[in-house]
Each structure stands twice: as structure tokens, then as C-alpha cells.
Amino acid sequence: MKWIKTLLGLGALVVAVSYLVAFVSVLAVSRQDQARPVPAIVVLGAAQYNGKPSPVLKARLDHAARLYADSVAPLIVLTGGVAAGDKTSEAEAAAAYLGTSIPAPALVVLPAGRATDESIVAAAEWCRGYGITEVVVVSDPFHMLRIRLEARRQGLTAWTSPTRTSPISTRLTRELPYLMAEALKVLVAGGRGGAAPTAGT
């Protein structure tokens, strides 16, 4: 029937427009750095190999170390659980790496989370225990918008500060698939908890 085709066409148009808006938002937020003085810096985990951070995780940790050196926060909260087949968590590998240049009391190890939302939940629970309501979150650029959304769902204000040295972000052609996939994840995350934040929030 003609009306069914019309409805399907309108539905496809809505989906396409929604995805385009999400993609543009992900791209715009990925280029923003909101670093500012806060109680803690949160670093999202990434792969580690036998206790040694992967290049992606190392880039995040180096960026967090620079923020710490610039007195953005007195604490660095490290997230990331244990992947299948591993014996060391991402958070523990991160702590060992940063421990050579940053005092141990400044490092908080939260060996939990194998996905962005899980890591944010773990960080938010820790923050609530200390009355912390805002943090600077470090990850790869493509992650930034969804981090803000997931943090907001947990009652936490996340000021995002993306690393610029991750191998994922060295070329747009390499980063593009991550940005495209993230746009879909933002749509899903927004559907779970209300509209996604705009690029300026």
C-alpha cells in the first residue's frame, strides 16, 4: 500500500537525519577540550598486554599525567577491568605505568569496567563516596560525547579532555570508522536515558 511505503520512507528519513546529527555531534565534541580544575581526573581503560599499556592506553595516561602536572586535579582515577585471558586489569597496568612519575597516593585504582558505561558507573560510584560531583575525563576523542551522556545519567558532570596522541586519532581515515560507530552508540545511549547532550554541553 502507498501509505505504508510513505511511512517507511519517513521512518528511514528520520533515522538518517538522527544518525547524521549524532555523527556531527560526536565529531564536534571530539575536538573540544574542557580541562579545568576539578577534584579528580578519570581515565577510561584500554587494552594492556601483560601489565604493559597498549599504545592507546599509554596515550590516555600520558595525557592524564600532563593534566596532573598542570594542576588540573590532585587525583587520577584509573578504570578498566580484566579482559578474557588476562591476569592484570587495565587499571592496574595503568597505575604501574604512571607510578614511575606520579606519587602513589595520587592514583586511585578501580579495576572494573570492560565498556565505557561500566567504567563511568564505577567512577561515579567512587565519586559519590567522596562527595565529588565533577571530574575531567580522559579518553580518545571519539568517546567524548558518550562519556558526557553516561556521566550525566550517573549524576556526574564530566568535563572531557581527549588525548591527541592516540594511534586511533593520527589520521582521519583511521578515526572515521570509530566516529561512525560511536554515532550509533550515542543514539542507543540517548534512547536509554533521554536526549544526548549537544556539542556545546
Average pLDDT score, the chain: 88
Is the pLDDT reported for residue 201 higher than 60? no
DSSP string for the chain = -HHHHHHHHHHHHHHHHHHHHHHHHHHHHHT-------S-EEE----EETTEE-HHHHHHHHHHHHHHHTTS-S-EEEE--PPTT-SS-HHHHHHHHHTTTS-GGGEEEE---SSHHHHHHHHHHHHHHTT--EEEEE--GGGHHHHHHHHHHTT-EEEE---S--GGGS-HHHHHHHHHHHHHHHHHHHHHHSSPPPTT-
Q: What is the pTM of this model?
A: 0.86
Give tens-digit pLDDT for 76-130.
Answer: 999 999 877 778 899 999 999 999 999 999 999 999 878 888 999 999 999 999 9
Complete domains list, the chain, with CATH: 20-193 (3.40.50)
